[in-house]
Amino acid sequence: MSDKPTILEAESLYHVYESKAEDGNVVALRGIHVNVKEGEAVAVVGPSGSGKSTLLKCLGGLMKPSAGKVSLDSKNMTRLTGLELVELRQNTVSFIFQEGNLLPHLNALDNVAQPLRHQKVAPKEAKRRALELMTELGIEHRAKGLPSMLSGGEQQRVAIARALITNPRLILADEPTGALDPITSREVLKLFKDLHDNQNVAFLLVTHSKEVAAFADRSLELRDGRFVAEHGTDLDIENLSAGRELIVDEMGTVTLPPDILTQMGGPGRYSVGELESGKLSLVGERISAIGELILASSCPACKHDYEDSDDQLCPSCGSSRPMVEA
């Protein structure tokens, strides 16, 4: 494991949504352990309803977990007063949500500048820095527009600019490119990569996107409120669920304990070699969970050959050029 200091850590994290419905309470998180080092990028992937958004809110101090401990910059957030928590978040972390969550009565420029105003930066300087960042994201021409006048992609880029304006050490993002077209999404990921590589910004991203997950140093797979698999570099077995429980859901999806998966040689494509009552034999080969992603060599719509071009749009039919595994 890296010897870098930890900026975010959760231990034995549980969250229960109380319900009076017939099905009873919903356990969204089941003893989660996770840590993010300074300057590390971690992706959390998993199906809808697996607990990803709940985890992000608990890690960011936006929701109090039912049990467990969350530490941000070595400070136990569950023991801080409201003002102490606000100050810690302002100085350490920024949030990016899929919905944008912009203030509807402020124009785009003022939305981006708002976090600096909370830090007592002079209004003129706050607006100057906000416009500079909006220009970098290609939305300076929408500076005076209210959120209701912006497209979904424009709103998301404004929200991203607002998150970056305070030069945070950690960014928590829930589907940060979910509302963006493929080309804009790659521009945002390029900006994230620059912050990650050159300014040592740490990321924890909740995503369904392979491109976003591939940006991260490692990815954690969340199912039914537990981490069941981890891919990438500097892996930490403590992040994964304990025990040797084998889970098979109604769709036939099998989840193996981490130690058994390691003994099998890791994730891969397996077929049933032998099936008897109470016995399942698997044969197959190991594959990388998330391979390196590159631009497709040909257009899937019209078969145009890109040759050595870096075009993002197909010159023949105008389709967005997809990313594929190398």
One-letter identity of residue 33: H
Helix, strand or coil, per DSSP, at residue 25: coil
For 59, residues 6+ apart whose C-beta sits below 8 A from its C-beta are 8, 10, 34, 70, 172, 204
Helix, strand or coil, per DSSP, at residue 283: strand
Give residue for tokens 């100085």: 91
- DSSP letter, residue 320: B
Six-digit token pair at 311? Answer: 């075009």
Contact 239, 230 (CB under 8 A): yes
CA 128 to chain centre: 29
Among residues 16, 44, 51, the alpha carbon closest in space to that of 225 is found at 51
Contact 58, 65 (CB under 8 A): yes
Among residues 3, 5, 14, the alpha carbon closest in space to that of 65 is found at 14
Among residues 164, 198, 280, 202, the alpha carbon closest in space to that of 8 is found at 202
pLDDT score recorded for residue 42: 92
Helix, strand or coil, per DSSP, at residue 317: coil
Domain boundaries, the chain: 6-221, 243-289, 292-326
pLDDT per residue rounded down to tens, the chain (326 residues): 457 899 999 988 899 988 777 667 788 888 888 889 999 999 998 888 888 889 999 998 888 889 999 999 999 988 887 888 888 888 889 988 877 689 999 999 999 999 998 888 899 999 999 999 999 888 899 999 999 998 878 888 898 899 989 889 999 998 888 777 888 788 888 888 888 988 899 999 998 888 888 888 888 888 888 887 777 655 554 555 554 455 566 666 666 665 566 666 666 666 776 777 667 777 665 544 455 667 788 877 778 888 888 787 888 877 777 777 66
CATH for the 6-221 domain, from 3.90.190.10, 2.60.40.420, 3.40.50.300, 2.40.30.10: 3.40.50.300
Helix, strand or coil, per DSSP, at residue 243: coil
DSSP structure string for 48-96: TTSSHHHHHHHHTTSS--SEEEEEETTEEGGGS-HHHHHHHHHHHEEEE
Helix, strand or coil, per DSSP, at residue 238: helix
Q: What is the pTM of this model?
A: 0.71
Among residues 206, 179, 203, the alpha carbon closest in space to that of 191 is found at 203
